Amino acid sequence: MRTRNRSVRTALAGVVALSLVAAACGDDDDTADDIEDAVDDAVDEAEDAADDAVDEAEDAVDEAEDAAEDAVDEAEDAMDDADDDMADGIECETPDEVSLQLQWFVQAQFAGYYAAIDQGYYDAACLDVTIVEGGVDIVPQTQLANGDVDFALAWVPKALASREAGANIVNVAQIYQRSGTLQVSFADSGIESPADFAGKKIGNWGFGNEYEVFAALGQEGLDPASDVELVGQNFDMVALLDGEIDAAEAMTYNEYAQVLEAVNPDTGELYQPEDFNVISYEEVGVGMLQDAIWASGDRLADDPEYVDITTRFVAASIGGWLYCRDNVQECADIVLAAGPTLGASHQLWQMNEVNKLIWPSDNGPGIVDPAAWDRTVEIALNTPNLEGATVLTEEPSDDAYRTDIATEALELLAELGIPVAVTGEVYQPIEVTLNEGGA
């Protein structure tokens, strides 16, 4: 900058001198001296003007740098304040011990809860949380209804069926805002929509996981007893890859990844997304609400302390999911450290796909979307399976879910020092590369 300004001053002096010399050409010695003085004065004035311009520019730069430093300092102060709030948390003498029943073993499907432990969110909420893994013979909502755990995760239709059977449990936080269920087929199968299920072997898991499949069939006017061949499917994609079925039920975050982690025998390379057709039941209008936090209805009605604990538990849990929204790789690593059953790339894929089911959360994380709830209930009431059974035989009562606890939990987040930009409207998924076998 300074080299260029010196050049400018030299050029200005040269121009002034030439102009004056040209104007005075032919005068006597006194006149020449006057001209030299005038040139010197002009040069001095030009240099002074240039110096002033440089000084003004430097002052402007300094002011801009000061403003930027002030902004950074303010942001750091705000972060420090948040950290201090988190360190302090809420007033706590002895943490309340609570337990959470998962649907399955440790995996990124439940990453938010493990992140809440890892990041100290439950500590800040004065909670000592024990996460209880699930299994094939464990029904989370039954564990909750029996009093074996304080909270449970369950899909909404399954939990509503348990309510209808007598389990007094209440949805206090709808974590997944949309369904992650797919039907996956090979690209050359010709199955591009549920209407193409006709005459095909359609895999489904049963155990209450089949109702979106039946709802899609009903929506297309297909009779599940005669228009398709429904085949019981294991919780993997072997039957599809071996050609035993034409389309397999899959979750975006799990079984779909399994086919992309498998080697295509024709190429010797991993299968690619273009090798498959994928039908999303959410996109075709029959998605049912899935993972939600359920609490004891009896205790919510009779125990104000349990209501307070529930609010703190939901707040810290949502904090964990917020952390996983913004720290995808870190949360996959947290889950891997807690239970390395599944491989690293599979867990990262799962974390990324689970985030897509939560964010954006237009009503706020944990808040039930009434339209999605009503659609779930309508399918549960009016979609029979092969045996003619529906999930529900009557409308669930209005207290099957409540939003006040999640609403208060979102307000509590600020007290816990957890970022409160919660709806995630600017959320963007990451790109994940799967390795063979999910390694």
The two structure tokens encoding residue 141: 């909502």
d(CA 46, CA 401): 79
Question: Where does residue 136 rank: exposed (0-12), middle (13-18), buried (19+ CB within 10 A)?
Answer: exposed
CA angle 38, 39, 45 (to 5 degrees): 90
Residues 6+ apart with CB under 8 A from 89: 123, 124, 125, 126, 416, 417
Report the run of H or E that residue 344 belongs to, with start and end. helix 344-358
d(CA 433, CA 438): 9
Scan for tokens 């337990």, then name that residue.
99
Residue 283: predicted pLDDT: 97
Question: Where does residue 411 rank: exposed (0-12), middle (13-18), buried (19+ CB within 10 A)?
Answer: exposed
d(CA 208, CA 196): 23
Work out the end-to-end distance of the chain between its first and last CA atoms, rounded to an integer number of angstroms: 54
pTM equals 0.79
Residue 17: predicted pLDDT: 46
Fold assignment, 96-179+288-416: D-Maltodextrin-Binding Protein; domain 2 (3.40.190)
Residue 98: predicted pLDDT: 98
Q: Which CATH superfamily hosts domain 181-280?
A: Periplasmic binding protein-like II (3.40.190.10)
Residue 48: predicted pLDDT: 82
d(CA 106, CA 125): 23
Residue 109: predicted pLDDT: 98
The answer to whether the peptide bond before residue 224 is cis (omega within 30 degrees of 0) is no
Residue 421: predicted pLDDT: 63
Residue 60: predicted pLDDT: 67
The two structure tokens encoding residue 410: 């979102």
> Rounded to 5, what percent of the chain is helix, strand, coil?
50, 15, 35
Exposure string of 197-226, with b = 16+ CB inside 10 Å and e = fewer, is bbebbbbbbeebbbbbbbbbbbebebebee
Cβ atoms of 35 and 41 closer than 8 Å: no
Per-block mean pLDDT, blocks of 10 residues, the chain (439 long): 42 45 48 75 79 76 60 47 55 94 97 97 96 94 98 97 97 98 97 98 91 94 94 95 98 98 97 98 97 98 97 97 96 95 96 97 94 97 88 96 96 81 77 97
Q: How far is CA 27 from CA 16, 20, 34, 42, in A?
A: 18, 12, 10, 20
Cβ atoms of 432 and 251 closer than 8 Å: no
Residue 162: predicted pLDDT: 96
Q: CA nearest 278: which of 242, 225, 243, 240? A: 240
d(CA 176, CA 354): 8
The residues that bridge with 153 in the sheet, in sequence order, are 293
The number of beta carbons lying within 10 Å of the beta carbon of residue 94 is: 7
Instruction: Give the residue ranges of DSSP H helices in 268-338.
Output: 297-302, 304-326, 328-338
